[in-house]
Amino acid sequence: MRATEDGFTLIEVLVALTIVAVAMAAAVRASGLMTQGNGLLRDKALALLAAQGRLAELRLEGSARPGVRQFECDQGRLRLRCEQRVSRSPQGLLEVQLQVFDREHEGPALARLQTLLAGAEAALATEERFMQRNVTARHSASPASASRLKRM
């Protein structure tokens, strides 16, 4: 007579181990893809910061000239190359296009920005119009408001 034994057979254990191994491989693959995706997002965010910084420089300098220019615009450990295209729009504004690429790997741009800037002539004309309006507004003040200002 044979006694009944509780437990798993060798085949059942091997099937269970195979299922666990397949699940673990899928989890490792998913975590690797997530890590790679996070790295790409970090690189794109740094590239966008580089492009925004360059646009801020152009606004502050006020001396952008039409043409194409390439230069290094590294952000920390990330080696970047910026490509700046400046052209005149029909309205007299400067159209600025910035693209940021990874210098170490060929591929599409990590970031792209495009904006319109007032050229030096347009900025001076705007400032002159503003100053002229202020002078006109001062001279056209009513006598009543002028006498109120004198009393203060």
The region of weakest confidence among 19-33, 90-104, 107-121 is 107-121
DSSP per residue over 72-112, as a string?
Answer: E--BTTB-EEEEEEEEE-TTSEEEEEEEEEESSS--S-SEE
Q: How far apart are CA 111 and CA 82, in angstroms?
A: 9
Counting Cβ atoms within 10 Å, is residue 65 exposed (0-12), middle (13-18) or buried (19+)? exposed
Task: Report the pLDDT value the prediction gives residue 136, as an integer from 0 to 100.
Answer: 55
User: pLDDT tens across 18-43, in order?
Assistant: 999 999 999 999 888 888 778 889 99
